[in-house]
A and B are shown apart, each in its own frame.
Chain A
Amino acid sequence: MSSNVLAVVSWNLLNKASSMQKIPALISAIIISLLLAGCAGTQNRHTDPEGDPWEGFNRKVYAFNDGLDKVVRPVAVGYDKIMPDPFQRGVGNFFRNLDAPVTFVNQILQGKITQSADTFGRFLINSTIGLLGFFDVASKMGVPYYNEDLGQTMASWGYEDSRYLMLPIFGPSTFRDGTGRLVDSYIHPVGRAIHGRNEWGMWIVRGIDQRARYLDQDAELKQAYDPYVLMRDVWMQNRQYQIYDGDPPMTDYDLYLDDYPEDEPDPEN
């Protein structure tokens, strides 16, 4: 049921988006048909009813992304093979530098004024001396790197728990973070190129570059008992880590033990 609601919301959002921001018709069509497929059936698996009540829907999006990956992965593999490592590092630096405006705005929204000055300085240095960000000169100069976005800002404002949401193409997220991502895209240079000028080149290159970074992990994910849960776990835990700026509360391990039969007699004896 809830996945239907989500599909309707997303449908509206996409219709709006495709008319207003000129998302190519093909991509809209793919996403929309996917979302429809999402409503077509329901899955009964509930591995985390609290954190992931949309699991049935999310698993379908996961399967869709997995299918898409059959096309994206070979491109990423080729890119990884052809491009020398220093060049790849440069491309990574370039895109990381472009995240700075989003980080800067969100640092201010979170009241982290001193840190926002670092981000500003880092952006200036890397965009100029660092040749448009290809070289991370600022790190060598000891300017700290921060990463903030609207999802983290909303979490810091008290919107702490949000349900897991697997986004088509973009991958793991939550409802909160997906919304934040959409809004941030109006600040992000890559997003602005799309919204303003309908230019998708940078977005595509960034996608390939990011995909190439995960190639080493493909085998592990495939071998996992439940790859969907593994991805969710890893993403959610790391997201928590980002929200707490690297210092999240310690896991309550006692909770893990509570359901362990410490004093139950061994049935074999």
Chain B
Amino acid sequence: MNTLVRIMFLVFACSSGNLFGDHISGDDPVSLVEDTTVHIFADVAENLDEYTANPEALRTLVNRQLMPLLDVDYAARLVLGRAGRGIPNEKIDEFTSCMSTLLVNRYSKGLLYFGGETKLWVLPQRGDLNEKLTRVRSRVTLPNGKQAPVDYAFHKTPEGWKAFDVIVEGISYVTTYRNQIMPDVQANGIDSVIERLGSGQLELAE
């Protein structure tokens, strides 16, 4: 329970998005995390006033820099699991795009909240790297000096490495969402869930 707090806060607030930029130097997951974090944090620190006044500009930045490097389609499939059975493709796409919007909004909010003071460093890569799936482990330092462990799950796609899960203090965003959304879809149908997602009612973390 202790962690519920920080986790929920952090999942989106300071971590999930920070990863990526549009000026990536290397294709390996560690460089993706490092480069993009530096880039986005610096941008926010520099233009904090502007972004505070105009959150839409920040959302645009996040959308442009972050989203191309996330595999939200894959994340959505993991979240839906067997509840996705029999659901028309266009509904799944709609669900996926709702998840993207939610991510961007929440991540942008988190960036504003932490004011670009957040720092992140990546731990040395461990042996569990394989050719298709890997985990990048990092530590985020918040403005209050507290550190939060944040891991990113990456998998290899035809377009290179993409992140599909964020794990804060051991709590996986995909797993946690999945266990909320799957039964919801099964009980109430995908339309109801999409509507709830769209209205912001399913924000598990703030």
Interface stretch, picked from A112-120, A185-193, A215-223, is A215-223
Q: Are A251 and B153 in contact (CB under 8 A)?
A: yes
Choice from B5, B77, B170, B174 contacting A242 with Cβ under 8 Å:
B170
Contact with B along A35-63 (1 / 0, CB 8 A): 00000000000010000000000000000
Query: Does A256 lie within 8 Å of B133, measured CB to CB?
Result: no
Q: Which of B147-206 contact A (CB under 8 A)?
A: 149, 153, 155, 164-165, 167, 169-172, 174-176, 178-181, 183-184, 201-206
A224 to B197, CA, bound (A): 11
A214: nearest chain-B partner, CB-CB: B5
A-side interface residues, number (CB < 8 Å): 42
Cα–Cα, bound, A214→B1 (Å)? 8
Q: Does any Cβ of A come within 8 Å of B80's Cβ? A: yes
Q: In whole angstroms, what is the CA distance A264 to B88 when docked?
A: 11
Q: State whether A250 and B203 are in contact (beta carbons under 8 Å apart), knowing that A225-B183, A235-B4 are contacts in the complex.
A: no
Near B by CB (< 8 A), chain A positions 201-230 give: 210, 213-214, 216-217, 219-221, 223-226, 229-230
**Within the assembled complex, what's the spacing in Å between the Cα atoms of A256 and B113?**
33
- Name the B residues within 8 Å of A239 (CB-CB): 170
Complex Cα–Cα for A257 and B174 (A): 12
**Contact yes or no, B183 A261, CB < 8 A:** no
* Residues on A with beta carbons closer than 8 Å to the beta carbon of B184: 225-226
A168 CB to nearest chain B CB (Å): 13
**Candidate in B1, B81, B153 with the most chain A CB atoms within 10 angstroms:** B1
Residue of A nearest to B128 (CB): A250
Beta-carbon contact of B183 and A221 below 8 Å: no
- Expressed in whole angstroms, the Cα–Cα distance for A171 and B5 within the complex equals 14
Give, as a whole number of angstroms, the nearest-CB distance from B206 to chain A.
6
Q: Tell me the B residues contacting A by CB distance below 8 Å.
A: 1-5, 7-9, 77-78, 80-82, 84-86, 88-89, 126, 128, 133, 135, 149, 153, 155, 164-165, 167, 169-172, 174-176, 178-181, 183-184, 201-206
**Additional pairs, 20, CB under 8 Å, beyond known A260-B85, A264-B86:** A172-B1, A214-B5, A216-B5, A225-B180, A225-B181, A225-B184, A233-B171, A233-B176, A234-B4, A234-B7, A237-B176, A238-B169, A242-B170, A246-B149, A251-B167, A257-B81, A260-B81, A261-B82, A264-B85, A266-B89
Please, could you name 18 A-B residue pairs with CB atoms under 8 Å apart, sorted by A? A213-B5, A214-B5, A216-B9, A219-B206, A226-B184, A229-B183, A230-B180, A231-B4, A237-B172, A241-B171, A246-B149, A250-B128, A250-B153, A251-B153, A253-B78, A253-B133, A266-B88, A267-B88
Partner-B contacts on A (CB < 8 A) = 47, 171-172, 210, 213-214, 216-217, 219-221, 223-226, 229-231, 233-235, 237-242, 246-248, 250-251, 253, 256-257, 259-261, 264, 266-268
